[in-house]
Amino acid sequence: MENFNNLKLIIFDLDGTLVDSSMDITNALNYAITPYGFKPLTVEDTIKMVGEGLTRLIEKILEDNNVSIKDAVLDRFIKYYSEHLADFTRPYPGVTKTLEMLGRYKKAIISNKRESLSKKLLEQLGLIKFFDVVLGSDSAPEKKPSPAPVKKVLKILGIEPHRAIIVGDSDFDIQAGKGAGLITVAVTYGYRNREMLKDADFLIDSMGELLTLIEIHDA
């Protein structure tokens, strides 16, 4: 069993891990695509596609035959989404309490959402105070599943890989963590099914279980 005794840093994914943002992303996508004759998406449609960043998400919806409208759709999405980041988005159960209990650890976020939108959302939800570093899809030379953003966080905070873990809801988080030499923890309640999380070192069914995993107990 991996040793958490020397743990200094916990890196979190954002969407699907700390917050359920699926409704607000779906609403923004529909605002962006419906003028072009696309069928509105359901939340389930969105969940299947998110994770690789906004540009890739739009590309999946438009497919190859609509490249000419990609920039316009992207602009519409960003304009709407940046004004409706937290209409329906909320932290998952136990997230805020868990972050409060993790006070003695450094904490960071690595999202494939753009850095400015990630920070704005965290501010609106009152969560940004918990984090020492927040990186987005545009904060490092490559985004997850590349280990580049993980290595950047380690460098900023001056922490060795064996003293850090990453917590996320997708195979991208697991790959990014493993590529940088971190212990990986996957949450099962997010946007990916358990089968896609099988390479994680640990699985947890709620954020509160993270406390048990790293052996913090309520005094």
Indicate which residues carry an active-site annotation.
13
Contacts of 8 (CB under 8 A, 6+ apart): 105, 106, 159, 163, 164
- Taking a C-beta distance cutoff of 8 angstroms, is the pair 86, 118 a contact? no
Interhelix angle 54-62/70-83, nearest 10 degrees: 130
Q: Where are the alpha helices (DSSP H) in the chain?
A: 22-33, 43-49, 54-62, 70-83, 95-101, 115-124, 148-157, 171-179, 209-213
Please choose, from the candidates 144, 206, 211, 139, the residue with its C-alpha nearest in 3D space to the C-alpha of residue 177. 144
